[in-house]
Amino acid sequence: MNQVARRLGKTFALVLPVVLVLSGTLAVTRVPWSSSSSDGQVLNASSETKEDVSAKDTAARAPQEVLRQRLLDELQQKDPGAALTDLQLAVAKQPSLARYCTSIARSLGRAAVAKYDGAAQRAQSWSRPVCDTAFATGVASVG
């Protein structure tokens, strides 16, 4: 009787992993991994639009880098004062960005000097006490 139980146990020990692997594989193949559309459309990488790529880039970047880029773009389109005001508002709205405030403000200072073709005096005129006058430090580092 012991010998029959032992032989049955060995057989069961060999067959059970195979059954589990096969059943898991079959379960995975049954899951609808793609969208629910029945046409099975496959897109090439070249078919992505510029907005799709931009949205992916934004999602992959850290929030402080997204904010930095948005403020640098705003500085180029408007003026450094608007970008500094938005930086102040963003830090007030999301306190987790406060630790990045000085580096962002320094970047804005350097970008302001670049916008005014190296005229540090004109860029300095936009300075205000945002993030411990880091904007002024950024302006001074270029000039």
Question: Are 91 and 131 within 8 A, CB to CB?
Answer: yes
- What is the pTM assigned to this prediction? 0.57
Q: Reply yes or no on whether the pLDDT at 71 is more than 60.
A: yes
Average pLDDT over residues 92-106: 90
Q: Which two tokens stand for residue 66?
A: 């997204």
How far, in Å, CA of 136 to CA of 76, rounded? Answer: 17
- The confidence score (pLDDT) of residue 40 equals 45
How far, in Å, CA of 104 to CA of 111, rounded? Answer: 10
- CB under 8 Å to 82, separation ≥6 — which residues? 74, 75
Task: Single out the residue of 79, 89, 71 nearest to residue 130, CA to CA.
Answer: 89
- The confidence score (pLDDT) of residue 27 equals 62
Q: Which two tokens stand for residue 19?
A: 């059954």
- The confidence score (pLDDT) of residue 129 equals 78
- Per-residue pLDDT of 72-90, as tens digits, reads 999 999 988 899 999 999 9
CA dihedral 116, 120, 125, 130 (to 10 degrees): 100
- The confidence score (pLDDT) of residue 74 equals 92
Return the higher-pLDDT residue of 10 and 23: 10
How far, in Å, CA of 13 to CA of 1, rounded? Answer: 18
